[in-house]
Structure 1
Amino acid sequence: MAEALHIGRKIGKIRELRGMKQETLAMELGISQQAVSKIEQSAEVEDSALEKIARALGVTPEGIKKFNDEAIFNIIGNNYHDSSSSVQYQCTFNPIDKLVEVFEENKKLYEQLLVSEREKIELLKKSK
């Protein structure tokens, strides 16, 4: 039952489902990859940090708190239909469309990251 309350593991699983590496999440949050790893090993995360993490993952803090593997398995399980010992996968969406959608989303995030990094560089140049 402790697994159900482990916020860090939920963050890690959502990050993985989003196709995001720890390094990417770390950059989004302005922390080190080691700090992300530590968060993902933590059973609890402060609300203020959870809010920032949720924003970076594109979900709500409540979504992280209520996330569970069972829901994912139910979604996957509901897409399998057994007809006389042969299992057929019935996909309810076009996987190519989803792949393109995720690619475009990642591209936008990368472009935002580049703009942010350029702004940081300009600020650093001005502060010298």
Structure 2
Amino acid sequence: MICKHCGLEYPDNLDACPGCGTMNDDVEAQVLSEEERDSFSGVTIETDTAQGSAEDYKVYDQEDLHRQEERRAQKAKWSRIWQLVKMNGRAVLVLALIVFCIIFLLPTLLGFALIGLGVFLVVTIFRNYFAGW
């Protein structure tokens, strides 16, 4: 049991809170509508009697609901990104190929071009120098 006055958790069989001495109130569970449950700030227990026995239940609070909503939002975000990639798969492939060429192949091609230019200049200089002999 959790004390309503000081928040201390203690065994259910005690008559009063050992921390502050507040007496236990016998509180019965209330059935809340979905709107009331979502706005309730305490701990709630949800039973699923539609699908199975009354023993199937889930305990959660507002933090659990908030985490579930964040997970749904993240999943929806990544789902939208994945749908965009799937719809534009060829464009993404071409873009990846262009990036690959720019990063890896362009420096290599520029290196070969500079080597070719150097060889051309050396051959031209030697040809002009030895042409007069």
Give TM class, smaller chain.
under 0.3
Q: Which structure is richer in relative contact order (CA contacts within 8 A, separation 6 or more)?
A: 1
Could you state the TM-score of these two structures normalised by the residue count of structure 1?
A: 0.27
Greater fraction helix: 1
Greater C-alpha radius of gyration: 2
What TM-score results when the alignment is normalised by the length of structure 2? 0.26
